[in-house]
Amino acid sequence: MTKQERADYVVDRLEELYPETPIPLDHSDPFTLLIAVLLSAQCTDIRVNQVTPALFELADNPADMAKVPVEDIKAIIRPCGLSPRKSKAISVLSQMLIDDHAGQVPANFEALEALPGVGHKTASVVMAQAFGVPAFPVDTHIHRLAQRWRLVPGKNVEQTESYLKRLFPKEKWSKLHLQIIFYGREFCSARGCDGGICEICRTVNKR
């Protein structure tokens, strides 16, 4: 298989397996999605979904969240890990949204990435899933699978994102991001596959 043939096979197979791609993080609007994605750093989506109901019951918008003491936020989100840093980021970004964006989450990569605790991957998820803007968020899991499937030579997530965006049509980026995550969790985890066990790995790595 050429690289493009491998890419085409991946798209077709993932579409068969995951025709629907529900967003794994529970949320009700761009703000709650932004907070959930921020909390998901080095934490599972399942754990985030267990924590956010209590947080959003306390405050589910920037104006209310900015009034909550950081220590109260930290106490709720502690199970997600990195709670001192994340709680401060949530508090500060909530105030920034009020001061700089009329209390709304901006639909703009640059503005999102200027918020504390919001890197390029988090901004990409929010842009894709909250605003429908084509984006290809790449985390270490997608980076690993893209390498296993011999789609990218990238040595880091930034390079992998660039290669994948050139390899796949823009209209497929946002959905494909989720499809790869779903497949990795179900069939091609870090320890569950060595690049030759799961179906896609076996197919694209035939010599």
Phi, then psi, of 201 in degrees rounded to 5: -60, -45
> Which pLDDT does position 169 carry in this prediction?
95
Architecture of domain 30-131: Orthogonal Bundle (1.10)
Query: Of 64, 67, 74, 121, which is the active-site residue?
Result: 121
**Residue 129 backbone zone (phi > 0: left; psi -120 to 50: alpha; other: beta):** alpha
Residue pLDDT, tens place only, 116-156: 999 999 999 999 999 999 999 998 889 999 999 999 997 89
Question: Would you list the domain boundaries of the chain?
Answer: 3-21+136-204, 30-131
Residue 67 annotated as catalytic: no
pLDDT of residue 38: 98
Segments of the chain with pLDDT less than 50: none
Which fold would CATH assign to domain 3-21+136-204? Endonuclease Iii, domain 2 (1.10.1670)
Assess whether 139 carries a catalytic annotation. yes
Catalytic residue, from 26, 74, 99, 139: name it. Answer: 139
pLDDT value for 112: 98
